[in-house]
Amino acid sequence: MSPRTSPTPDLVVVGAGIVGAACAYHATRAGLSVTVVDSGPIAGGTTGAGEGNILVSDKEPGPELDLAVLSNRQWRDLADLPLDDTTFGRAVELETKGGLVVATDQATLDGLARLVATQRAPGIEAVAVPTDGLRDVEPHLTHDLAGGYRYPQDMQVQPMLAAAHLLRLARRAGATVLTHEPVTGFLRAGERVTGVRTPRRDLPAGAVLNAAGTWAGQVAALAGVTVPVAPRRGYILVTEPLPPLVRHKVYLADYVADVASDSAALQTSTVVEGTRAGTILIGASRERVGFDRTVSTPALRRLAAGAVRLFPVLRDVAVIRAYRGFRPYCPDHLPVIGPDPRAPGLHHACGHEGAGIGLSLGTALLVTQGLTGQPPALDLDPFRPDRFGPEVPR
């Protein structure tokens, strides 16, 4: 007989990335007993290959923006939480530096202004920056811009540290974390999901949460349900450490439309931001090529060229490395959150694409409210797991 972990936890979380870590943190705070299981190390998937963005600026009004606002407030509240001899915010390199969205021509700036007008109702702050004021905000920007908007609520975090420290807090509240232990099946009592199976043990539980990131579709399939999460590959360039050059997260206004695109082909839109270590991160690319890890030279060239056009000072700066990640893409660009009516006992928190860091704490709150019978802070209907129907275009 397989060994069992005892006592039976209230919740098994499948996935130790930022979303799974946030869910474990929120669930333990609510008094639930939790076991986290992952096929690799903590933050070994999409989380470890991200920029750490906590953004409200890049989302159009709707369910995802509402979730971003909810989550943004929680990141700010968590920043001052004492953690040994520091705070959570300092430990995870949380920077409340804000974002700057810029336009290359008047037509694009007019479109950005229309977006800003609709974003303000959900609680987004945005400050217009005229073309002659951009260098006051970012001294090294190109002069060839029509203007932009500054978003004070945008933040950045070191994502691997964030996941690790959220799990650290969950462990202090009694959670167990099992790494390098893939889920190979589900335990059932009739139709109800009652736990998971790994090569080492059976893990019975009151409920199971699928927070497996890009692999969430495969995990769902083990339970006999379809969740159409697919990988979307993206690259990031990292420069040599430099004196402070870029004060905000700076990106071109076309980034918002590119993120919402359904194209499978390579797309790039310029995103540039500094880090506390002095390196500069350059993105963003996206393409649907499965889990192909081949280095795409065209993608890297486009990223570098876009960064130099936006910040000419970077022309002679050395790129010391590039890394890739696979973002968990859903066909309608919304995450999957909540209980699955097709498999009672199974819950989902996945499909956040490139916004998982920023949306993680809000997602975790919604999941925990569902598990503990509380009214949800947001309407869960747009995120329901069974919304795609039997046939989902890929």
pLDDT tens by residue, 283-299: 888 888 888 888 888 89
Checking if the pLDDT of 5 tops 80, the result is no
Query: What is the pLDDT at residue 134?
Result: 97
Higher pLDDT, 284 or 92: 92
Tokens of 166: 């959220």
Is residue 210's pLDDT more than 90? yes
Mind listing the domains of the chain with CATH numbers? 1-95+154-229+330-394 (3.50.50.60), 99-152+230-329 (3.30.9.10)
Residue 327 identity (one-letter amino acid): R
Instruction: Give first-to-last CA distance, the chain, whole Å.
Output: 40
Residue 390: which pLDDT band, with cuts at 50, 70 and 90? low
Rounded to whole angstroms, the Cα distance separating 97 from 247 reads 7
For the whole model, what pTM was predicted?
A: 0.93
149-201 per-position pLDDT tens digit: 999 999 999 999 999 999 999 999 999 999 999 999 999 999 999 999 999 99
Q: What's the confidence (pLDDT) of residue 357?
A: 96
Per-residue pLDDT for 393 more than 50?
Answer: no
Cβ-contact 46, 16 below 8 angstroms: no
- Please confirm whether the linkage preceding 284 is cis (ω < 30° from 0): yes
